[in-house]
Amino acid sequence: MSRVTLVLFLLALSAISRAQNNAINELESLLQNLDTLSAKITQLIVEPDGGILEESQILLHVKRPDGFYWETISPFPELLVTNGRKLWNYQPDLEQVVVEDWDSSRSDLAAQLLYGRTDGLVDDYYIVVVNSELAQNFELKPKSADSLYEVITIKFIKGSLDLIYIQSTNGERTVWEFRDSSINLPLEDGLFEFTPPAGIEVVNNSIN
């Protein structure tokens, strides 16, 4: 490699590194400004051939550092709620709640992002940001060939989270469309606790 080619190569690497750092700093700034988030979500799970496998209506509440409330309203009612120590999975149709110990590091990437945990993103993903007058789109592509994900897109409109799109390596896509979002309004800690209704079977898999 000639000296000129080497210099150009190093300059290109430096530019890529700066772009990556700028993108992650911008994403972190948007995510870490969310102490609480409440939103209604339409979740679409799309098959590789484009058919809609499932469309769900979700009610979401997040309170950092560990409060997470995810209630599926339709088509099949279900509640996942954690206070950061216990996870309750309540399925009304089965008249059952399963209780487990919770470790937030087990949560998937989308939940990690909602928690504002962006540590290691630059190690695991190439990040590109595309800004327009109203929207900011962050595209994350895994660096590892073994990743479960092909691409992840996070969209903000005027600083408010609008969409998370996840395409898996098997071609399946998951889309979360956010609406009626409320940011940094007070949420009671009791929202992230669960008391089983009378007559509900409790399956306690908790160790602690």
Q: What is the pLDDT of residue 11?
A: 30
18 Cβ neighbours under 8 A, 6+ residues apart: none
Query: Domain limits of the chain?
Result: 3-204
pLDDT at 18 over 80: no
What integer is the mean pLDDT of 106-114?
72
pLDDT at 103 over 70: yes
Q: Any idea which fold 3-204 has? A: outer membrane lipoprotein receptor (LolB), chain A (2.50.20)
Q: What is the spatial distance between Cα 171 and Cα 166, in angstroms, rounded to a whole number?
A: 10
Q: Name the residue with higher pLDDT: 159 or 181.
A: 181
Q: Name the residue with higher pLDDT: 132 or 67.
A: 67
pLDDT band at 4 (very low <50, low <70, confident <90, very high): very low
Tell me the β-bridge partners of 154.
138, 164
pLDDT band at 173 (very low <50, low <70, confident <90, very high): very high
Q: What is the pLDDT of residue 42?
A: 96
pTM across the whole model: 0.81
Q: What is the pLDDT of residue 14?
A: 35
pLDDT band at 105 (very low <50, low <70, confident <90, very high): low
* Sheet bearing 160-168, strands edge to edge: 125-131, 135-142, 149-157, 160-168, 173-183, 36-46, 52-63, 67-74, 78-82, 86-91, 96-101, 201-204
Looking at 70-74, 96-100, 105-109, 140-144, which range is the least confident one?
Answer: 105-109
Looking at 9-13, 116-120, 150-154, which range is the least confident one?
Answer: 9-13
* Upper half-sphere CA count for residue 99 (Cβ side, 13 Å): 15
Q: What is the pLDDT of residue 46?
A: 93
